[in-house]
């Protein structure tokens, strides 16, 4: 198996450990220092190939400091440049002295104004899928697992947090700054090496969990995530022991481009899930689930991404079911299935992109980050569970994590395991599962289970009453949860009158909603109808947070209309400098620069 998104040839020479020694320069927006790589080398190999993108290499040396010769390959806009280094005499250690550039796509250097406190700058990294090579010269393939350690020097007032064990939680004062040391002894794919630096406080939540956030946010974050320990226990009941020591959540400034990122030991999360009522914590269940599906057992290439996200989306739902009951889990599952239906509709002309085992050769692996990997992947796992029954499926799943712990798997290897340990010669079961249909064909196979929610049936009845003329204030919506509101908004007819929109907004305060999911869904309805009262909220939402999942549909909706085009370009001109490169890379082709 070769990884089309890495230049490395790990069968010849493979990186097994990365030791970083870096200084964060907030004035120039660069890291500068060295990466010491430990190699495992095959007998006849003469060189080691690393992935880099936009790195300035200053010197490559052996463990004693003697220079090693090196050369760059051609520059590719997505993959970057191969860095080929002649092996040192000990065939074991190479030291790369280097500097990042301010354009490094993994890194976002925030000005103080982009933080909650407004007084200190902030930096965070986002490695997945192939961005780690923009700040660390290493073999950036998910099949090349590496342990890592780091010494990071930051300005005295700031704290560094990494996806590793903190050896000096408060840092050590040194001349001109503060040094933080970390180590991660479990081998991980390089996309999980992550860092954040800022004015960051910590608050414990459970015995092995807590939250990091800016001081003005940390209490809100701790109260939103009170259930962390219960969540870890629910996950352990399904996946086996949590193998990473601590589980903390770092709440980032609002420009964080994702909802969450499963960095080991510390999930990075958007502040847009701080709804105040714990209604969006399924996102934490999702990132926690990656501690098994993704971080313990990892997709070997980005073609196998569904192994990470499909399993995790399924696992997330099992955690939610165990913690909050079947009705809540079914609602979430129905919402996911709607996402999938919408995605399939939008990929109508691209059947190849509807395939779980999607061929991404020559493409940006980001192209595979769609509801297909997540929700079709989860539907596949759910179908296997439903067909085999939980009494067979659950022990298989637990065993799958144990058998492949700390390894990276291809789709073929997953299939091999499923056949050996779950199907085990049961020909009728093999036949019923339709594995090839699920993995290699577009669309949603006919044996998919159809999730249903009684709570949502109740919601639909209220939509019918509303469209039949009942005023919004007379609808029975008492004690509705966020999920019910999401379903309500999604079930409204495609066209509403201005009077109806005003009625809904007055009764339920959608334009003022502090719930990011509800607000985003409402704003999309607002754009579709050019509903003026929502426009200030729309502009505020687009300029106050940078989560790609919210930005992309809103800008797309705006760009689909004449009046909206001008509005989108105007807002984007102001907001673009505050967004992370992950978001602008997606948005530039939509809005235009
Ligand atoms: N690992 C992903 C985020 C990701 C995927 C980053 C691919 C870069 C490339 C993370 O676990 C995730 O899926 N986040 C979702 C939230 C989740 C609840 C669906 C997000 O950010 O929206
Ligand atoms: Zn995920």
Name the token pair of 273.
């899930």
Note whether 171 and 160 are within 8 A (CB): yes
Ligand nearest to the CA of 285: 1
> Who lines ligand 1 at CB under 6 A?
128-129, 258-262, 283, 286-287, 290, 309, 369, 374, 549
Looking at the structure, do residues 281 and 426 belong to the same domain, yes or no?
yes
Q: What is the DSSP letter of 360?
A: -
Q: Tell me, yes or no, whether 112 lies in a domain.
A: no
Q: Tell me, yes or no, whether 196 lies in a domain.
A: no
3-state SS of 115-179? CCCCCCCEEEECCCCCCHHHCCCECCCCCCCEEEEEEEEECCCCEEEECCEECCCCCEEECCEEE
Note whether 367 and 353 are within 8 A (CB): yes
pLDDT of 132 strictly over 80: yes
For tokens 């520059």, the residue is 75
Note whether 240 and 402 are within 8 A (CB): yes
Note whether 190 and 138 are within 8 A (CB): yes
Closest among 282, 288, 361 to 323, alpha carbons compared: 282
The CATH number assigned to the domain holding 18 equals: 2.60.40.1730
Residue 128 CA, ligand 1 centroid: distance in Å: 9
CA-nearest residue for atom 18, ligand 1, is 283
Q: Tell me, yes or no, whether 198 lies in a domain.
A: no
The CATH number assigned to the domain holding 482 equals: 1.25.40.320
Q: Tell me, yes or no, whether 498 lies in a domain.
A: yes
Mapped onto helix, strand or coil, the DSSP state of residue 586 is helix
pLDDT of residue 337: 98
> Cα(567)–Cα(589) distance, rounded to whole angstroms?
16
Closest among 545, 531, 26 to 252, alpha carbons compared: 545
The mean per-residue pLDDT over the stretch 409-427 comes to 98
- Residue 191 CA: nearest ligand 1 atom is 8
Of 189, 221, 240, the one marking the end of a domain is 189
Residue 287 CA, ligand 2 centroid: distance in Å: 6
Helix, strand, coil shares, percent, the chain, to 5? 45, 20, 35
Of 440, 473, 506, the one marking the end of a domain is 440
Looking at the structure, do residues 498 and 524 belong to the same domain, yes or no?
yes
- In the chain, the number of structural domains is 3
Q: Which domain holds residue 225?
A: 203-440
234's CB contacts (< 8 A; 6+ apart) are: 318, 319, 322, 323
Name the token pair of 144.
């090349």
The pick from 163, 190, 261, 311 for probing ligand 1's pocket by mutation, whose C-beta has the most ligand atoms within 8 angstroms, reads 261
Name the token pair of 31.
């890291």
What is the helix (H) or strand (E) element at residue 323, kind and residue range?
A: helix 305-324
Question: What torsion, rounded to 10 degrees, do the Cα atoms 31, 147, 257, 78 define?
Answer: 80
> Cα(135)–Cα(145) distance, rounded to whole angstroms?
17
pLDDT of residue 78: 97
Looking at the structure, do residues 231 and 316 belong to the same domain, yes or no?
yes
pLDDT digits (tens, 9 = 90+) for 19-67: 999 999 999 999 999 999 999 999 999 999 999 999 999 999 999 999 9
Closest among 554, 517, 488 to 259, alpha carbons compared: 517
pLDDT of residue 593: 83
- Residue 549 CA: nearest ligand 1 atom is 22
Looking at the structure, do residues 167 and 235 belong to the same domain, yes or no?
no
Q: What is the mean pLDDT of the chain?
A: 98
Prior bond of 129 cis (ω within 30°):
yes
What b/e readout covers 429-466, taking b as 16+ CB neighbours within 10 angstroms?
A: eeeebbbeebbeebebbeebeebebebbeebeebbeeb
Note whether 153 and 256 are within 8 A (CB): no
Q: Do β-strands 159-162 and 13-25 pair in parallel, antiparallel, or remain unpaired?
A: unpaired
Q: Active-site residue numbers?
A: 287, 374
pLDDT digits (tens, 9 = 90+) for 295-306: 999 999 999 999
Expressed in angstroms, the distance from the first to the final Cα of the chain is 39
Note whether 532 and 498 are within 8 A (CB): no
Of 158, 189, 220, the one marking the end of a domain is 189
CA-nearest residue for atom 6, ligand 1, is 128
pLDDT digits (tens, 9 = 90+) for 240-267: 999 999 999 999 999 999 999 999 999 9
Looking at the structure, do residues 500 and 358 belong to the same domain, yes or no?
no
The CATH number assigned to the domain holding 368 equals: 1.10.390.10
Residue 364 CA, ligand 2 centroid: distance in Å: 18
Residues forming beta bridges with residue 570, ordered by sequence position: none
> Cα(396)–Cα(412) distance, rounded to whole angstroms?
17
Ligand nearest to the CA of 283: 1
Looking at the structure, do residues 327 and 377 belong to the same domain, yes or no?
yes
Q: Tell me, yes or no, whether 448 lies in a domain.
A: no
The mean per-residue pLDDT over the stretch 533-543 comes to 98
Residue 261 CA, ligand 1 centroid: distance in Å: 6
Residue 422 CA, ligand 2 centroid: distance in Å: 25
3-state SS of 24-76? EECCCCEEEEEEEEEEEECCCCCEEEEEECCCEEEEEECCCCCECCEEECCCE
- Residue 270 CA: nearest ligand 1 atom is 21
CA-nearest residue for atom 10, ligand 1, is 261
- Residue 129 CA: nearest ligand 1 atom is 9
Burial tier of 4 (Cβ tally within 10 Å: 0-12, 13-18, 19+) = middle
Looking at the structure, do residues 216 and 98 belong to the same domain, yes or no?
no
Q: Model confidence at 120, in pLDDT bands (50, 70, 90)?
A: very high
pTM for the structure as a whole: 0.98
The mean per-residue pLDDT over the stretch 309-338 comes to 98
CA-nearest residue for atom 2, ligand 1, is 261
Burial tier of 67 (Cβ tally within 10 Å: 0-12, 13-18, 19+) = exposed
Closest among 25, 154, 17, 182 to 94, alpha carbons compared: 17
518's CB contacts (< 8 A; 6+ apart) are: 482, 485, 486, 489, 510
% residues pLDDT > 90 (the chain)? 99
The mean per-residue pLDDT over the stretch 219-239 comes to 98
Q: Tell me, yes or no, whether 471 lies in a domain.
A: yes
pLDDT of 1 strictly over 90: no
Looking at the structure, do residues 433 and 484 belong to the same domain, yes or no?
no
Task: Please report the beta strands in 88-163, taking only residues with DSSP state E, as ranges in sequence order.
Answer: 93-99, 107-110, 122-125, 146-154, 159-162
Looking at the structure, do residues 18 and 148 belong to the same domain, yes or no?
yes
Name the token pair of 88.
């040192």
pLDDT of 237 strictly over 90: yes
Looking at the structure, do residues 211 and 163 belong to the same domain, yes or no?
no
> Cα(129)–Cα(506) distance, rounded to whole angstroms?
43
CA-nearest residue for atom 16, ligand 1, is 259
Residue 117 CA, ligand 2 centroid: distance in Å: 29
State the number of CA atoms in the 13 A half-sphere of 244 facing the CB.
Answer: 31
Q: What is the DSSP letter of 7?
A: -
pLDDT of residue 524: 98
For tokens 């807590």, the residue is 210
Q: Tell me, yes or no, whether 370 lies in a domain.
A: yes
pLDDT of 388 strictly over 80: yes
> Cα(431)–Cα(126) distance, rounded to whole angstroms?
41
Looking at the structure, do residues 336 and 484 belong to the same domain, yes or no?
no
Note whether 32 and 99 are within 8 A (CB): yes
478's CB contacts (< 8 A; 6+ apart) are: none
Looking at the structure, do residues 421 and 497 belong to the same domain, yes or no?
no
The pick from 128, 189, 260 for probing ligand 1's pocket by mutation, whose C-beta has the most ligand atoms within 8 angstroms, reads 260
Residue count (the chain): 593
């Amino acid at each position: 198996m070769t990884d089309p998104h890495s230049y490395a040839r790990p069968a010849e020479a493979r990186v097994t450990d990365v030791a970083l020694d870096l200084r964060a320069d907030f004035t120039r927006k660069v890291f500068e220092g060295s990466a010491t790589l430990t190699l495992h080398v095959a007998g006849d190999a003469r060189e080691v190939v690393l992935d880099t993108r936009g790195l300035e290499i200053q010197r490559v040396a052996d463990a004693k400091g003697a220079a090693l010769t090196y050369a760059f390959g051609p520059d590719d806009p997505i993959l970057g440049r191969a860095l080929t280094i002649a092996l040192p005499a000990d065939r074991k250690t190479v030291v790369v002295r280097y500097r990042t550039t301010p354009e490094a796509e993994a890194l976002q250097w925030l000005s103080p104004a982009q933080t909650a406190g407004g007084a200190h700058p902030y930096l965070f990294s986002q490695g997945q899928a192939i961005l780690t090579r923009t700040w660390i010269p290493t073999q950036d393939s998910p099949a090349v697992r590496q342990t890592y350690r780091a010494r990071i020097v930051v300005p005295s007032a700031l704290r560094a947090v990494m996806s590793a064990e903190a050896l000096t939680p408060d840092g050590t004062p040194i001349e001109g700054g503060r040094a933080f040391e970390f180590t991660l002894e479990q081998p991980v794919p390089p996309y999980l090496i992550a860092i954040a630096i800022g004015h960051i406080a910590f608050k414990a939540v459970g015995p092995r969990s807590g939250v990091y956030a800016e001081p003005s946010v940390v209490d809100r974050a701790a109260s939103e995530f009170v259930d962390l320990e219960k969540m870890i226990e629910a996950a352990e009941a399904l996946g086996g022991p949590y193998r990473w020591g601590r589980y903390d959540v770092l709440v980032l400034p609002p420009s964080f481009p994702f909802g969450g990122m499963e960095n080991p030991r510390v999930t990075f999360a958007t502040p847009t899930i701080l709804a105040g009522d714990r209604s969006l914590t399924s996102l934490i269940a999702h990132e926690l689930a990656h501690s098994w599906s993704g971080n313990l057992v990892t997709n070997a290439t980005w073609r196998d991404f569904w192994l990470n996200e499909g399993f995790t989306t399924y696992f997330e739902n099992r955690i939610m079911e165990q913690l909050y009951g079947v009705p809540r889990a079914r609602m979430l599952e129905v919402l996911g299935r709607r996402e999938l239906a919408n995605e399939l509709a939008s990929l109508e002309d691209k059947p190849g992109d509807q395939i779980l085992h999607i061929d991404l050769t020559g493409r940006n692996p980001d192209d595979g980050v769609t509801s297909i990997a997540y929700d079709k992947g989860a539907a596949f796992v759910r179908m296997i569970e439903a067909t085999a029954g939980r009494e067979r499926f659950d022990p298989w799943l637990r065993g799958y994590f144990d058998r492949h712990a700390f390894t990276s798997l291809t789709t073929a290897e997953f299939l091999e395991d499923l056949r050996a340990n779950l199907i085990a010669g049961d020909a009728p079961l093999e036949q019923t599962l339709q594995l090839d249909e699920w993995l290699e064909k577009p669309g949603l196979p006919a044996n998919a289970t159809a999730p249903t929610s009684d709570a949502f049936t109740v919601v639909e009845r209220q939509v019918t009453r509303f469209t039949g003329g009942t005023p919004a204030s007379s609808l029975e919506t008492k004690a509705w949860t966020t999920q019910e509101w999401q379903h309500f908004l999604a079930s409204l007819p495609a066209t509403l009158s201005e009077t109806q929109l005003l009625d809904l907004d007055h009764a339920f305060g959608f334009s003022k909603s502090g719930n990011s999911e509800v607000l985003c869904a409402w704003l999309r309805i607002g754009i579709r109808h050019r509903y003026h009262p929502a426009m200030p909220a729309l502009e505020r939402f687009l300029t106050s947070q940078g989560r790609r999942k919210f930005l992309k549909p809103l800008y797309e909706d705006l760009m689909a209309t004449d009046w909206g085009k001008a509005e989108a370009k105007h807002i984007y001109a102001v907001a673009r400098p505050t967004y992370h490169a992950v978001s602008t890379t997606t948005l530039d082709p939509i809005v235009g620069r």
